[in-house]
Structure 1
Amino acid sequence: MSLARVLLDSGRSVDLSELRMSSTYGGLLEGYPCKRVNDRKIDWLLRSAERDSPGAPVHLIPPPREYPDQYAGAFGPVEVLPAVTCVGSFRSEALDPAHDRSLYRSRLTVVWFQPSPRVPSGCDAEPSLRDLSWERLAEDEEL
């Protein structure tokens, strides 16, 4: 059973089987959001997704970065990512048409950022998520 189904721009439907959401800066105890902090956060998210989904391909949708007109401290200019961090496991039909549809499916773990805590569904997902190149990024797995 999936949490939601997302329709990609390519016309392929993908099922969201697992979703982890968190506040992008919820654990920031000191300092301020800057490029160095954000790059470390993204690196940690990717490593965590790879560890939690062994064997599955992991893809980062590069987040938009905003640079508000605020005082630049010791770590450089303030750089802000969207408020919500998402890590989702998606499944779909097998990529290879030679694979038996009852024995194979394709899978991809995606890391992305969005402005609010809502589950992507149908055509109401973030545009960057709907624009995924599933055929290039996902891999088939035998069930």
Structure 2
Amino acid sequence: MALARVVLSSGRSVDLSELRMSSTYGGLLEGYPCKRLNDLRIAGLLRSAEHTFPGTPVHLIPPPREYPDQYAGAFGPVETLPAVTCVGRFRSEAVDPAHDRVLYRSHLTVVWFQPAPHVPSGCDAEPALRDLSWELLATDEEL
């Protein structure tokens, strides 16, 4: 059973089967958000997603980066990402029309950021999530 169903801009429905949310800067004990820290955080999320969901393609939706007018310290300007980090596993019907619709499903793991902790659903998901090119990113698997 899916946690939610998201309708992509293409009209394809994808089911969210697993979702992991965390605070983007929840473990930051020292320093401040900057480009280097954010890049390391994103790389770690991608590695973790690949390890957690082996055999499933992983796609990053590039997060918006903001540069608040704050003092730039030793690590350069302050750069912030949205407050909530999300890693979701999605499934849908097969991408390849030659595959039997009963025996095959497509799947994709997506990493994205959003401003608030809510489960994406229907047409209310983040625009970047709804704009996924499912046919190019997802792969089919036999059940």
Q: In which range does the TM-score fall when normalised by the shorter chain?
A: over 0.9
Give the counterpart letter for 1:66 in structure 2: E
Does residue 139 of the first structure (1) align with residue 136 of the second (2)? no
Query: 2 CA distance for matches of 1:9 and 1:109?
Result: 18
Structure 2 residue aligned with 1:94: 94
- Give the structure 1 partner of residue 127 of structure 2: 127
Per-residue deviation, 1:101: 1.1
Alignment of 1:44-123 (within 5 A): 44-123=44-123
Q: TM-score, normalised by structure 1?
A: 0.99
Per the TM alignment, residue 98 of structure 1 is displaced from its structure 2 partner at its CA by 1.2
1:35 Cα offset (Å): 0.2
* 1:88-135 Cα shifts (integer Å, max 9, x gaps): 000000011111111100000000000000000000000000000000
Q: How many aligned residue pairs are there?
A: 143
Q: Percent identity?
A: 85
List gaps (5 residues or longer) in structure 1: none
Alignment RMSD (CA, Å): 0.3
Write the distance in 2 (CA, Å) between the matches of 1:29 and 1:102: 49
SS in 2 for 1:135: helix
- Unmatched 5+ stretches in structure 2: none
In 1, distance between residues paired with 2:62 and 2:14? 20
SS of the equivalent of 2:37 reads helix
Separation in structure 2 between the aligned mates of residue 28 and residue 102 of structure 1, nearest angstrom: 46
Q: Quick check: 1:29 aligned with 2:3?
A: no
What TM-score results when the alignment is normalised by the length of structure 2?
A: 0.99
Instruction: Tell me the amino acid that sits aligned with residue 91 of structure 1.
Output: R
